[in-house]
């Protein structure tokens, strides 16, 4: 029969093992939109930050606090849309990611931010990596396409679906980098 000390030790080892496994599964961390702003606010690179900042994506989390969102949520049995997984999984980047996949600079209040479409940025955020497209892709940068958008903009199983046409909405959010001079 095991004594108390042995049981505590076994539990400690199991918790430690689980934590190490969870860390091993995290390839890249979400660093938050503020890290992207450093370079992507520059006019010479296309000022992608301003495009995002003025978009509905940037306001996706705060939208959940509006009276309209609260009324809609109540119809679906949701008390607070800013605390409901049903809402947050599409209104907050990385909501369903484990906490160890989120750096201290990440904040859910940024709503649907850069890394929702481009992937967690911890390993591609540096200027050195971003200047090399192949290195960026190898470090986790995702080039989004229609399928990326359809992860949230889907009619099936989405009680809050708003009609979505990729071409129309892409025109509102596209933020290309100007060609090098």
Instruction: For 115-143, write each residue's pLDDT tens digit.
Output: 999 999 999 999 999 999 999 999 999 99
What single DSSP character describes residue 179? P
Show the domains of the chain with their CATH numbers: 28-173 (1.10.1130.10)
pTM: 0.79
Higher pLDDT, 61 or 25: 61
As a whole number of angstroms, the distance between CA 95 and CA 60 comes to 12
- CA–CA gap between residue 15 and residue 135 (Å, rounded): 35
Phi, psi of 12 (to 5 degrees): -60, -45
pLDDT, tens only, 75-104:
889 999 999 999 999 999 999 999 999 999
**24 has pLDDT over 90:** no
Is-contact 171 42, C-beta < 8 A?
A: no
Of 111, 95, 118, 106, which is closest to residue 55 (Cα–Cα)?
A: 111
What's the average model confidence in pLDDT over 29-56? 92
Residues forming beta bridges with residue 102, ordered by sequence position: 30
Task: Kindly report the length of the chain.
Answer: 181
């Amino acid at each position: 029969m095991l004594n108390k000390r042995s049981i505590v030790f076994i539990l400690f080892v199991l918790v430690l093992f689980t934590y190490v496994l969870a860390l091993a599964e995290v390839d890249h961390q979400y660093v938050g939109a503020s890290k992207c702003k450093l370079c992507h606010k520059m006019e010479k690179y296309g000022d992608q930050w301003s495009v995002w900042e003025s978009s509905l994506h940037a306001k996706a989390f705060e939208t959940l606090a509006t009276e309209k969102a609260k009324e809609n949520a109540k119809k679906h049995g949701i008390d607070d849309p800013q605390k409901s997984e049903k809402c947050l999984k599409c209104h907050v980047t990385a909501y369903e990611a484990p906490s160890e996949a989120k750096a201290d600079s990440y904040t859910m209040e940024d709503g649907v931010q850069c890394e929702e479409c481009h992937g967690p940025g911890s390993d591609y955020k540096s200027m050195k990596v971003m200047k090399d497209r192949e290195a960026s892709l190898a470090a986790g940068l995702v080039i989004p396409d229609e399928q990326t958008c359809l992860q949230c903009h889907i009619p099936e199983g989405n009680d809050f679906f708003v009609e979505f046409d990729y071409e129309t909405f892409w025109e509102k959010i596209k933020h290309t980098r100007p060609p090098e001079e």
